[in-house]
Structure 1
Amino acid sequence: MSTISIKCPNCGGELIFDPKSQKYKCEYCGSDFALDEIETEDTKAQDTSDSAQTAESGAGTEAFEQAASDDAEAADQGASAVVYTCPSCGAQIVTDQTTAATFCYYCHNPVLLSEQLTGEFHPDQIIPFEIDRKQAEDHFLDFVQKKKFVPNAFFQKNQIEKLTGIYFPYWVYNAEVDGALSAEGSKIRVWVSGDEEFTETRIFRMEREGRVSLNEITKHALKKSDQVLAEGVLPYDFSKAEPFHMGYLSGFYAEKRDIEYCELQDEVRGEVQKYTRDMLEDTIQGYTGVHVLSDHIRTVDEHWAYTLLPVWTVTYKGANGKIYYYSMNGQNGKTFGELPIDRKKVLSIGILIGAIVFVIMLIVGYLFFT
């Protein structure tokens, strides 16, 4: 299995994408580079195979055969696991089928799994992280500490260290839609003359038609991720989307899609038809009541873009065994998640409030009856 490692032209260390500067930084010599500065023949990401890297690392034939054996075993198990070789230290990296960027467990260098994002799985675009880890931690602490009943363990140091930057896969849908609508609108006028009340109802026939441009309808494309969690951090500013480049993944985790756009077509087209119908109906104003007689919605042009979007996320296992998720938009900082509740804190505050109320009642009673 092929891997990619982006090397520093100055010292050969690993380059990591820095959201704050939007450049690639070397943590060894402190150099930084723009994207076009690392794409020369000498500094381009090195694409290597497992066998070549195993030989270079000195692991020998035995390690290579073991890797092949692990690959075959993964295939026998329904390909639930995939084995790669770290291009930096030669260690074996075991991931699942949707992982596209990770870290070596031994040397901790970022590893980009190139075969996961090639061919039909090559993303059309990516929105790079704009919020770095320090900013993400500050956002996380600010968000959590405002919640009075969250367990203290949820924002302790070891929990904050679990905060992970991940590129999640999404399908982004754009469409041009023609719509036509026929409706009847009623206008009712009521007046009183003498002792009699009169009602006049006038019926109007209306036709509406037009073309609607719908852009950036975003759907998550990973089965193992929670849909509410994945879509709770939306929206993103797609004007900042860039053509996909593997370098943006360096220093982060990334997942590849396992949901195809054809699986989402019926859902999205239903949403598009409803939205177009609602827009046409909203142009009808000034009537007492409106009754839609018929409508015709037709998609003229549509486009699906496979997109990777940045998310900071952390999980927490509560005392009840339930897994709680927190996520944050890696571009604009929008937060989403279900936080655990410390029942002891709730009980303690309840007892304290009860005690205060009891004391106040005693004082009021004493003053009232004496």
Structure 2
Amino acid sequence: MSDHLEKCAVCGALIDEEDLFCANCGTEAPHREGQTVDKSTTSTLSFDCQGCGASMSYSAQEGTLRCPFCGSEKLIKKVDHKTIAPEAAIAFAIKRDQAERLMRSELKKGFWRPGDLSDAAIIEKMTPVYVPFWVFQAQVFSNWTADTSELPFGAAGEWRPVSGQHRAEYQGLLVGASGALTPHETDAVGPFHLSEAVQPQTIDFDSFTVEDFNVSRKYARPYARSGLEALERQACDAKFVPPRSRNVKVNLRVQDMSSEPMLLPIWIMAYRYKDKVFRFLINGQTGKTFGQAPVSYAKLGVAVAVAVGVGLAVVAAMALCAGIAGR
């Protein structure tokens, strides 16, 4: 939290300079001169899930209310409230039947998965959800260092230090603002083609489940900085550092960082295999998949038995060789 704080005029809670609303009572924060303020919208048909904590505006077309993230039916209706309005969104390109085919095709892959997983998996819930993201842009300046084993002729030692400077500009860095999906999950379904984003008013959000922004801009910034550091390290490594190197590090200075709130399409699916439920995600624009899957304990048991058998055979062979050598 920054040093610039003031009290909410309604409940007296402290409000940070980057807060759009009071975290305690939801009152809209006053506008500060010179500060970029996110636009807001009124969230209706909004629910909190007691199972996973997700906060979402539910599709008016849904029958039974059930959380798309965890499958819980323990949803609490919220009063209409202000929430961050997206500045852009990407429409769903993957249809329901395509999403199911993609999931079953993916479940066939992987040696350690049960052989009947794709056919036996029962889809319990399949929901197209607009998930909130922050899209960051920034200019960076870095001092990089590394060790390389490429030494001048006649030099002693195995490694020598190298260093340099680099400037770059990065755009389209995504930081998930979901309260239910983990950063690993939101990273795994990317990337999205952000050039295809459209104005939010062109999408009928009433036909979809829309998750509220649960990660504010100020809390997304540290994740964005970590992402920028990783991108800059990769860029310096590829452009400047010799092939045989180690300890590549960058000291980063971020300039002109900005971001915009965006809603991105993700199919969230819950499938049951035997007595356990697993979550599966599909990028609603590109079809990229990511999800949980069970392990075949039968295959694992066979592999362990084979490994133990091979180990015993090796020990027996070594003992036999030692016995022969001792005669």
TM-score (norm 2): 0.59
Aligned positions of 1:268-287 closer than 5 A: 268-280=224-236, 282-284=238-240
Question: How far did residue 227 of structure 1 move?
Answer: 3.1
Amino acid at match of 2:60: F
The aligned length equals 245
2:293 to 332, 339, 357: 339
Amino acid across the alignment from 1:243: Q
Structure 1 contact 222–259 (Cα < 8 Å) conserved: yes
Aligned twin of 1:137: 100
Q: Does 1:305 align with 2:305?
A: no
Counterpart mapping for 1:117-132 below 5 A? 121-132=84-95
What is the rounded CA distance, in whole Å, between the counterparts of 2:269 and 2:134 in structure 1? Answer: 23
Contact 2:104/2:118 (8 A) holds in 1: no
**Corresponding position of 1:249:** 205
2:135 alignment counterpart: 172
Q: What is the distance in 1 between the residues matched to 2:125 and 2:243?
A: 57
- Superposed CA deviations along residues 220-251 of structure 1, whole A, max 9, x for unmatched, are 11222233333221111111011222733243
Which protein shows a greater Rg?
Answer: 1
**Structure 1, unaligned runs of 5 or more:** 1-74, 76-82, 86-92, 109-114, 191-198, 355-370
1:175–1:215: 8 Å Cα contact kept in structure 2?
yes
Structure 2: gaps (5+ residues)? 1-24, 26-42, 66-77, 307-327
- 1:249/1:153 Cα in 2 relative to 1: closer, same or farther (>3 Å)? farther
Partner letter of residue 57 of structure 2? Answer: A
What secondary structure does 1:269 align onto?
helix
Q: How does 1:87-102 map to 2 (within 5 A)?
A: 98-102=55-59
Query: Using a 3 Å threshold, how does the CA distance of structure 1 residues 156 and 301 change in structure 2: closer, same or farther?
Result: same
Q: Is the Cα contact below 8 Å between 2:189 and 2:283 reproduced in 1?
A: yes
Counterpart secondary structure, 2:135: strand
The residue that corresponds to 1:222 in the other structure is 178
Q: Give the number of the structure whose residues are more often helix, by fraction.
A: 1
Mapped to 1, the partners of 2:290 and 2:64 lie a distance apart of: 33
The one-letter code matched in structure 2 to 1:329 is: N
Identity %: 20
Number of the residue aligned with 1:327: 281
Aligned to 2:316: none
**TM-score, normalised by the number of residues in structure 1:** 0.53
Q: Contact (CA 8 Å) 1:179, 1:277: kept in 2 or not?
A: no
Aligned to 2:151: 187
CA shift for structure 1 position 286: 5.5
Q: Distance in 1 between matches of 2:250 and 2:293?
A: 44
Please give the alpha-carbon distance, in whole angstroms, between the structure 2 residues aligned to 1:243 and 1:98.
23
Matched-pair contact (CA < 8 Å) for 1:187–1:287: no
Asked whether the equivalents of residues 187 and 289 of structure 1 are also in contact (C-alpha less than 8 Å), the reply is: no
After superposition, the CA RMSD in angstroms is: 4.5
Asked if structure 2 preserves the Cα contact closer than 8 Å seen for 1:128 and 1:248, the reply is no
